[in-house]
Structure 1
């Protein structure tokens, strides 16, 4: 028996695995990044582009990661070396993605927790003030405490293991999250706002902007940027090219139908992202019009609290429900990032889960607080190669998601497409007796299309192209 699985449990079955993997995929990327990219990139155009990429690139990358994990029964740092001698370096490179993401993910989770507490205590009006968010993240004591609490909650679940910790929490969190996001989405569509000049804006009008593509003024360069944004979001949302799904795949039993699992994970993840857009974009449009749609990353922490506050007591209740749901989503993703690190360290040091989790979590609690203080005591402002500027959190995000993920996906595509050949993955996808759909599409994407697109994404990240 594989060393890791001999001392650590696996997922109980397909449902447990799908819920855990979907919970990993559903996170801040769905509730925060997806809506603001959709708002920035023309609503329906971004949505259509994202869906096309999902059934092509997303399908290929997610299938590859899960198949690699189950076939090798190893986490990412050793899995690539088991696939092809001399390629262990790719596993090491992949390991650094969650290792870097873990430095700041709990910081964002702390922000969300702060807003949940604010709305639950009836102080939603305070959260709607222009300087509330900046005031919080620049407060070293408060921001550091919330980040540490979120990190410790993540560590507790990982400490309990795969089935009793990760799977058990996902079985509770995912249904609650899905029901909450559906109810809020339906309510938002009933909104109707009357301006002083007689203008009426409704949630349904915002929904039309979100779903219907508008190609007016569209140029090739603008659409290329939309494609790149959608691709970046897909990496972040599906947890691919960072070793997480390889780790989760290593916990999957051979009788589980991976083909069905890939489809189910993608459907749940995309449904939450689309519903998050249905919650946020119609609400922002109803209260702020097209100007509010340009809020960018501040959409969730600045614009949305203003909307909730404008709805009175109903808005306070909806705001509390929304940020509680966001805590669930952020927590499940943070758990998967920490699990990828812990699983790799267990293999490297031949140590048991609880000891590794304690050591790793202690280290990351300290680092998380340092990153949280990057807006106050450790404030820096650094120019990045892609033309943006950022603080400590932004720098870590840029290195891990903008730079490393495209490079890892490129190298993985070369390894699978040209060295071990696509049949290596296809064979594992069909190990339970099922047939892998879209095999021809998989071969084309992994061999020819993915390497080209990954190079373009990497060049954009390094500022070579705009």
Structure 2
């Protein structure tokens, strides 16, 4: 007989764990630099709008799927998968026709991949969406742990006083040497995987929930310390104004799509993590308010990260739009010019490491939950085995991060089969997960909940622990009259649930599809 499924010890534990999954390198590393590249405050407003109208509705879908089925992503879709589905067959046919089309242009690798996916859709229908979520978690952690390993390495180097750079050029040179050093790259990557394995090894309550309750408060305290230090520097207010003052002349269609894509990635949507965490929820826990809390915490961390960085960057006269190098190549030079700079550098990279760990354990849990639920593996064996497999795959990313020279046979194969143009295997894995798996996963989850499982069944699930979501008129709720029967008559139909249903059936799929087509280059708004 299968063991009783573990559940979160408290609603707070779930919120902190799910927020920790969402809060990661994307919030603290990526969000500040894409904000700098897209004009500051105006981009922040667009990002917040994308979180509210796209991110939150899709997150509600994922949590509802997980809690209703009490299964991992594959098990969730297997349990709800209809015997026959016209929409699934149509999608499968589209993939197969795309494969034949690609063959006409000698795109043999992509053509064969499209044909195989189309055939699998005909065979397994929506179960394939769950499988893609598990695979996405596996792939993302393989390269994510490499970047997290760099962060761990910089924590150690900050302790050793090695992050002392007079200018950005020195910091850039050091970073280039650091990521090419196989001993550092593999060693730190391995250490990060071990940290994640040790936490997930102990299960939901004793492992993930216990550490989330420690790591998330630590993360906020570190952010607050860095913000206070940054805004007290001479000239820091220029950075605050840049960050919080909207300049809508810098916003175009491309900026909106960047904000939409990051909102999706930032909330850990489409990668199976939220479905998996939702599967450990009890029926009496409020999905709607939990989702709002998770999104609010995730967004707050992203906003605080920008407030921690931009004042310091401006105070020392550096450019805010330096791109991905902002964290590893600009900030070390900034910290060196600040009193007690080694301490602030240590605190910042420790903050980055904490964020990486909270996301890393959720990605490892996705893979672990699949083998525990579907293959009946003991948790401890699943964690150790797939921690090791992810380490080996990530090692290919780590050794290739500068170029392909160390794994040239793999490069030649990918070029011959898929015409790969990425600079390294690290970039291939990042491109495959971020540009294909996540948006497609989010798109198919929206379609499945909105049109196949049905918003009515989803709302029935959400109603457990959250009657206000479906049973109270929206205007009554906003006016504070939710308990007044005269304001909740059957004639009223504009509830939170009805708005959510409209978004999940129409707006979210269209928005994600447009962002996806732009990301892969089939729709150009530049």
**SS class of match (1:12):** coil
Q: Does residue 339 of the first structure (1) align with residue 365 of the second (2)?
A: yes
C-alpha contact 1:13 1:253 (8 A) present in aligned 2 = no
Which residue is 2:47 aligned to? 50
TM-aligned CA deviation for residue 40 of structure 1: 0.7
Task: Give the 5 Å matches for 1:17-36.
Answer: 17-36=14-33
Task: Output the aligned Cα RMSD.
Answer: 2.2
TM-aligned CA deviation for residue 179 of structure 1: 1.1
Segment drifting more, 256-265 vs 368-377? 368-377
Determine which of 278, 289, 294 is the counterpart of 1:260: 289
Determine which of 401, 405, 416 is the counterpart of 1:375: 401
Which residue is 1:329 aligned to? 355
Which segments of 5 or more consecutive residues in structure 2 lack a partner in the other structure? 83-124, 470-494
C-alpha contact 1:17 1:252 (8 A) present in aligned 2 = yes
C-alpha contact 1:65 1:245 (8 A) present in aligned 2 = yes
**SS class of match (1:355):** helix
Which segments of 5 or more consecutive residues in structure 1 lack a partner in the other structure? 193-201
Determine which of 327, 340, 343 is the counterpart of 1:317: 343
C-alpha distance in 2, partners of 1:30/1:462?
23
TM-aligned CA deviation for residue 257 of structure 1: 1.4
TM-aligned CA deviation for residue 7 of structure 1: 4.5
Residue by residue over 1:31-86, the C-alpha shift from the partner in whole angstroms, topping out at 9 and shown as x without a partner, is: 01110111111111110001111111111011111111000111101212222324
Task: Give the 5 Å matches for 1:41-440.
Answer: 41-85=38-82, 86-125=125-164, 129-192=171-234, 202-216=235-249, 218=250, 223-289=252-318, 292-312=319-339, 314-375=340-401, 377-378=406-407, 389-436=422-469, 438-440=496-498
C-alpha contact 1:386 1:461 (8 A) present in aligned 2 = no
C-alpha contact 1:151 1:368 (8 A) present in aligned 2 = no
C-alpha distance in 2, partners of 1:263/1:14?
13
C-alpha distance in 1, partners of 2:419/2:450?
29
C-alpha contact 1:148 1:368 (8 A) present in aligned 2 = no
Determine which of 458, 461, 465 is the counterpart of 2:516: 458
**SS class of match (2:7):** coil
TM-aligned CA deviation for residue 190 of structure 1: 1.4
C-alpha contact 2:62 2:445 (8 A) present in aligned 1 = no
Q: How many residue pairs get matched?
A: 447
C-alpha distance in 1, partners of 2:456/2:228?
44
Segment drifting more, 412-421 vs 333-342? 412-421
TM-aligned CA deviation for residue 440 of structure 1: 2.8
TM-aligned CA deviation for residue 123 of structure 1: 2.1
Segment drifting more, 401-410 vs 121-130? 121-130
CA 1:374–1:462: 2 relative to 1, 3 Å:
same
Residue by residue over 1:247-291, the C-alpha shift from the partner in whole angstroms, topping out at 9 and shown as x without a partner, is: 0000011121111111111111111100001011222222234xx
TM-aligned CA deviation for residue 388 of structure 1: 7.7
**SS class of match (2:247):** coil
C-alpha distance in 2, partners of 1:418/1:36?
37
Residue by residue over 1:283-315, the C-alpha shift from the partner in whole angstroms, topping out at 9 and shown as x without a partner, is: 2222234xx212101110001111001114x22
Could you say which structure has the larger radius of gyration?
2
C-alpha distance in 1, partners of 2:151/2:203?
25
Residue by residue over 1:197-241, the C-alpha shift from the partner in whole angstroms, topping out at 9 and shown as x without a partner, is: xxxxx211111111111123x4xxx52111111111112211111
CA 1:386–1:278: 2 relative to 1, 3 Å:
farther
C-alpha distance in 1, partners of 2:431/2:57?
24
C-alpha contact 1:58 1:234 (8 A) present in aligned 2 = yes
C-alpha distance in 2, partners of 1:180/1:112?
15
C-alpha contact 1:50 1:230 (8 A) present in aligned 2 = yes
C-alpha contact 2:36 2:320 (8 A) present in aligned 1 = yes
**SS class of match (1:124):** coil
TM-aligned CA deviation for residue 140 of structure 1: 1.2
